[in-house]
């Protein structure tokens, strides 16, 4: 599905989207605390899971608009 830059900006500024991003940032902080706890306890399985959740949240929070009409002209 392709969206325009304007549609993306509207989505990003939507109150519901901003609420979800805020909640995800808070969950990320919770997972960071959990990660530290798991590492201290020596539970590397749970530490790895927390690390994966942190990375997933970061990936989602770092989304940006990419124009599908812009090809790799510099490549």
Return the pLDDT at 70: 72
CA 8, CA 66: separation in Å to the nearest integer?
Answer: 10
Is 68 in contact with 12 (CB distance < 8 Å)? no
For 74, phi then psi, to 5°, come to -85, -10
Each residue's pLDDT expressed in tens, for the chain with a length of 75 residues: 888 999 999 999 999 999 999 999 999 999 999 999 999 999 999 999 999 999 999 999 999 998 767 765 554
Return the pLDDT at 75: 44
Return the pLDDT at 72: 56
């Amino acid at each position: 599905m392709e969206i325009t830059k304007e549609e993306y900006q509207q989505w990003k500024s939507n109150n519901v989207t901003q609420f979800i991003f805020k909640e995800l940032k808070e969950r990320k902080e919770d997972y960071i605390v959990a990660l530290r706890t798991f590492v201290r306890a020596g539970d590397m399985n749970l530490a790895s899971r927390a690390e994966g959740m942190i990375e997933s949240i970061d990936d989602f929070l770092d989304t940006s608009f990419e124009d599908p009409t812009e090809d790799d002209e510099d490549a």
